[in-house]
Amino acid sequence: MGKNLLELKSLDVSEIVSILDQAQAFHDGEVFRGLEGRIAANLFFEPSTRTQYSFNVAEVKLGLRVVSFNPAGSSLQKNESFYDTVKTFDSFGPDLLVIRHVENEYYNQLLGHVNAKILNGGDGTGNHPTQSLLDLLTIRQEFGHFEGLKVAIIGDVSHSRVAHTNFEVMGRLGMEVCTSGPEEYMETALNYKPFEEAVRESDVVMLLRVQHERHKEKMHLSVEEYHRRYGMDKQKLSWMKDGAIIMHPAPFNRGVEIADEVVECSRSRIFKQVNNGVFVRMAAIKRALWD
Ligand code: NCD
């Protein structure tokens, strides 16, 4: 009964579609009362606004009680380890642990050692399953299907768990995914295309933040140069196909990968993605604790 959600690559397409269907039902107003009074602990060892607080809202909408964790005020400051911190929270007896941590596949060390179900809120540069699911829900609402759509993921691809998760799952769903951006952030296996070509031919242009906190070396380009070459602005927006949309997992940096005037332009689905995050996370929680 109930399932962790750690990576999308271990879910088959029918499981992914069934999470999206449940998320869509929550979006359309379905109410579920079976989890009222259960306890969730949200353990974000890395900063987060959207993922952390939309999980919180999703939990509240399902009637769960929520314990939040503040790393700066915890015994991490006394050198307690990640594992021991999670094990401590699990010993409080919650039903659900939502975890984000800087280490790729941090969950492998927890499996078999915790009783609560685990939902992955992001591991290092590896996986971000609920972000991908909300991206997929947003795309399905827009186009009604996945097969044959062209997606360009643009920016700091190599440090992005969003890019890695989406590239894999979108391909499996029949979308044609390419990546673009500064050479220093490209990965050979991820179907590179020159920026202008990627923007011109795609149905979905997904922009990424430059994730400086993950970089070993300073970015070679200046912020101004990045914006001039790879930042979506009004002029580059005009290259896009009819009906094509802009997405971004956020946080976005205005004036770097996206110009001010593009953030809320008619092609942008950025805040729609945020809204869908609540419903996708409700579906992930229901799957973890009920289905
Ligand atoms: C992303 C993340 O943390 O992986 N944001 C998110 O969860 N919506 C992307 C980022 O930090 O740039």
Which of 99, 162, 206 for mutating ligand 1's site (highest number of atoms within 8 Å of CB)? 162
With a 6 A CB cut-off, is 122 part of the ligand 1 pocket? yes
Could you give all domains of the chain from N- to C-terminal order, each with its CATH number? 8-127+275-289 (3.40.50.1370), 129-268 (3.40.50.1370)
Distance 54 CA to ligand 1 centre (A): 13
Which of 98, 100, 131 for mutating ligand 1's site (highest number of atoms within 8 Å of CB)? 131
Q: Is the pTM of this model over 0.95?
A: yes
- CA-to-CA distance for 38 and 117, rounded, in angstroms? 12
Residues 103/124, Cβ–Cβ less than 8 Å: yes
Residues 111/127, Cβ–Cβ less than 8 Å: no
Closest residue by CA, ligand 1 atom 11: 251
Closest alpha carbon to 45 in 106, 91, 4, 93: 106
Q: What is the pLDDT along the chain (291 residues), one digit of tens a residue?
A: 579 999 999 999 999 999 999 999 999 999 999 999 999 999 999 999 999 999 999 999 999 999 999 999 999 999 999 999 999 999 999 999 999 999 999 999 999 999 999 999 999 999 999 999 999 999 999 999 999 999 999 999 999 999 999 999 999 999 999 999 999 999 999 999 999 999 999 999 999 999 999 999 999 999 999 999 999 999 999 999 999 999 999 999 999 999 999 999 999 999 999 999 999 999 999 999 998
The CA–CA distances, whole Å, from 201 to 168, 213, 278 equal 20, 31, 30
| pLDDT at res. 1 | 59
Name the residue with tokens 């449940």. 22
DSSP state of 146: -
Name the residue with tokens 């685990």. 118
β-sheet with 245-247: strand ranges across: 176-180, 150-154, 204-207, 245-247
Residues 121/48, Cβ–Cβ less than 8 Å: yes
| pLDDT at res. 291 | 87
Total number of residues shown for the chain: 291
Return the ligand 1 atom nearest residue 51 CA: 7
Residues 220/192, Cβ–Cβ less than 8 Å: no
Distance 56 CA to ligand 1 centre (A): 16
Distance 221 CA to ligand 1 centre (A): 21
Return the ligand 1 atom nearest residue 209 CA: 12
The CA–CA distances, whole Å, from 25 to 172, 282, 285 equal 23, 10, 14
Distance 248 CA to ligand 1 centre (A): 9
CA angle 174, 177, 182 (to 5 degrees): 170
Closest residue by CA, ligand 1 atom 12: 209
With a 6 A CB cut-off, is 50 part of the ligand 1 pocket? yes
